[in-house]
């Protein structure tokens, strides 16, 4: 039976050609990362949790966590358990009044909950070793730029058509090798294109 390894949420970066967010899960002991392509809305939710952004009303992942707690449950662990045809699978392990329950989930949703619950994130060792790559040190202030992007999105969120935004951000599919992708990350082109579309939305 394969072991699990503990990982940390390293960062969210943007792939240049498809403008798709990439979540990087870091194994501190090896400095390797597991890249997982995720949706824009989920990337924003994860970034909110990392930054400790609080909302007047609960967002989707906040609501899910509130429901678990209201039912006297707790989330014990999130595990990236498998990959099939380039799609990752995650398990959310909960303690409930009826015992331990394991729910299948998308990694992005599972990690958004893990960050809000301050619980461990693990990855199946075979999955990590087969799909991880060396961490690329980025000196382009990409993380700070992404934080500013999140602040801007939050400030204007009542004016944004989120369904349109999600379609715009995810319409292209990644068709190149993962190592090549991570060597071509570029936040500025992403943010420039996105804000141009947001401006059009706000003005219509």
Domains and CATH numbers, the chain: 4-203 (3.10.690.10)
Sheet of 133-134, strand order:
99-105, 87-96, 74-84, 121-124, 4-15, 20-27, 32-37, 133-134
Burial class (CB in 10 A: 0-12, 13-18, 19+), 61: buried
What's the token pair of residue 39?
């949706």
CA-angle at 59, arms to 53 and 60, nearest 5°: 135
Most confident of 46-60, 74-88, 151-165, 188-202: 74-88
How crowded is residue 135: how many other Cβ atoms within 10 Å of its Cβ? 16
pLDDT digits (tens, 9 = 90+) for 131-181: 998 876 654 555 555 555 555 555 544 444 454 444 444 333 333 334 444
| Buried b / exposed e along 184-204 (16+ C-beta atoms within 10 A) | ebbbeebbeebeeebeeeeee
Average pLDDT value for the chain? 75
Evaluate the CA torsion angle 108, 114, 115, 117 in order and state its sign: positive
| Buried b / exposed e along 24-36 (16+ C-beta atoms within 10 A) | bbbbeeeebbbbb
Evaluate the CA torsion angle 25, 36, 182, 177 in order and state its sign: positive
- pLDDT confidence of residue 179: 42
Task: Using alpha carbons, select from 50, 46, 7, 3 the residue that is nearest to residue 26.
Answer: 7
- pLDDT confidence of residue 56: 73
How crowded is residue 56: how many other Cβ atoms within 10 Å of its Cβ? 4
Task: Using alpha carbons, select from 173, 136, 155 the residue that is nearest to residue 13.
Answer: 136
Q: Which of 25-29, 78-82, 107-111, 199-203 has the lowest mean pLDDT?
A: 199-203
pLDDT digits (tens, 9 = 90+) for 20-65: 888 999 999 998 999 999 988 888 888 888 877 777 777 788 888 8
């Amino acid at each position: 039976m394969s072991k699990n390894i503990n990982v940390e949420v390293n960062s969210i970066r943007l792939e240049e050609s498809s403008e798709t967010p990439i979540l990087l899960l870091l194994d501190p002991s090896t400095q390797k990362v597991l890249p997982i392509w995720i949706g824009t809305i989920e990337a924003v939710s994860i970034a909110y949790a990392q930054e400790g952004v609080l909302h007047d009303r609960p967002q989707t992942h906040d609501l899910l966590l509130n429901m678990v707690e209201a039912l006297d449950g707790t989330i014990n662990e999130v595990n990236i358990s498998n990959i099939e045809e380039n799609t990752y699978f995650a398990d959310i392990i909960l303690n409930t009044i009826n015992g331990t329950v394991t729910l299948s989930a998308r990694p992005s949703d599972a990690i958004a909950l893990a960050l809000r619950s301050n619980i461990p994130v693990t990855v199946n060792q075979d999955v990590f070793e087969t799909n991880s790559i060396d961490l690329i040190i980025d000196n382009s202030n990409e993380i700070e730029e992404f934080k500013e992007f999140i602040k801007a999105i939050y400030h204007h969120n009542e004016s944004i058509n989120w369904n349109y935004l999600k379609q715009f951000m995810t319409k292209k599919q990644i068709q190149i090798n993962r190592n090549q992708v991570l060597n071509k990350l570029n936040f500025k082109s992403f943010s420039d294109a996105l804000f141009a579309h947001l401006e059009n939305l706000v003005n219509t």
